[in-house]
Amino acid sequence: MKAFVIDRYGKRVIGRIADMPEPTLAADDVLVQVHAAGVNALDVKIRSGEFRLILPYTLPLILGNDVAGTVLEVGTNVTRFKPGNDVFARVHQTRIGTFAERIAIDQTCVANKPVNLTMVQAASLPLVALTAWQVLVETAKVTPGQKVLIHAGSGGVGTVAIQLAKHLGAYVAATTSTANVEWVKALGADQVIDYTTQHFVEQLHDYDIVLNSLGPDVLGESVEVLKRGGRLISISGPPTVEFATRQGLGWTLTQVLRVLSSRIRSQVRQRGMSYDFVFMRADGGQLGEIASLIEAGVITPVVEKVYPFEATADAFAHVQSGRAKGKVVIELRRS
């Protein structure tokens, strides 16, 4: 089958379309004909090698974490899905490879595709929607009336997180650039900070939760807008010792992460706050709950651009530029 692969890691690595072996179907797997696959910042980071110590893949590696497609075959233990079902998923972190014609996925990662979405729309959502869910619902446990700041409100995670936080009853602030201010307001943000002309620290105060997806400078400054007891949650790092434990990382790497996160942990501790690092995990059950919200009109996907499979490298370049508004999707099979 055709797949988009890398043969080595590196910031200048592009990747190529190659012939790769067909997936092997295990007892708990569903074999999916890939119609579309979302491109995420995580895919770019994996390609560059940023996660090679945490996620030691075998090369050549088929990239891709998000998928929407049709079930072709199921393993002997699968009862929730059958051939012909339209599904979507964020595949398990150890079994990536959605930039391919077919992929075998553990059934626990899969959910039925929302009936009101196209395959392209569905492929744009799993990773970013699960990230927003695991930050706001699972970790922060957002309740009505709380104040939530979402950085990069026009990005893939931000667009979903704004909609989900509003559904949970929060007052939502978001940061974005001038061109996207009105658009981010239309997504539901109560207050939008144009970072090109305003400094969010001067505009926002006494927030309960901050969702950070940006660099260390913004992470550190975000402490200033939180109230005592507030929660700073980052999806861009630095990772914590708790994360290392969940990942089963060795002692040496755990100590490295302890040092990397020591500054921000000390900063929040001195102010009576907490810091969490969320590394999104695949969860078909949560994705099913998200699908119900999508079908109810609570969450609407935002797809900026769709690339044909042959232009996967161009899709990567667009995501890597940091200028994507919403999500970028690769289409392998027209629905």
- pLDDT per residue over 252-295, tens digit each? 989 999 999 999 999 999 999 999 999 999 999 999 999 999 99
pLDDT at site 335: 66
pLDDT in tens, 171-188: 999 999 999 999 999 999
Query: The tokens 């609570």 sit on which residue?
Result: 298
pLDDT in tens, 273-283: 999 999 999 99
Residue 256 vs residues 9, 91, 238, 299: alpha-carbon distances, Å: 21, 28, 10, 38
pLDDT at site 334: 80
Residue 146 vs residues 97, 121, 184, 211, 227: alpha-carbon distances, Å: 38, 30, 19, 13, 11
CATH class of 128-277: alpha beta
Q: Specify the domain boundaries for CATH 3.90.180.10 within the chain.
A: 2-124+302-331
For residue 48, pLDDT over 80 is answered with yes
Query: The tokens 């997936």 sit on which residue?
Result: 23
Within 8 A by CB and 6+ apart from 248, the residues are: none
For residue 312, pLDDT over 80 is answered with yes
What number of CA atoms fall less than 13 Å from residue 86's CA on the CB side? Answer: 15
Ramachandran assignment for 15, one of left (phi > 0), alpha (psi -120 to 50 degrees), beta (any other): left
Residue 271 vs residues 120, 147, 229: alpha-carbon distances, Å: 44, 18, 8
Q: Please state the φ and ψ torsions of residue 226, each to the nearest 5 degrees.
A: -85, 150
Average pLDDT score, the chain = 96
Residue 78 vs residues 2, 73, 75, 282, 290: alpha-carbon distances, Å: 26, 10, 5, 17, 22
pLDDT at site 325: 86
- Rounded CA separation 199/303 (Å): 28
For residue 323, pLDDT over 80 is answered with no
CATH 3.40.50.1110 correct for 2-124+302-331: no
For residue 50, pLDDT over 70 is answered with yes
pTM: 0.96
Query: The tokens 């959605």 sit on which residue?
Result: 98
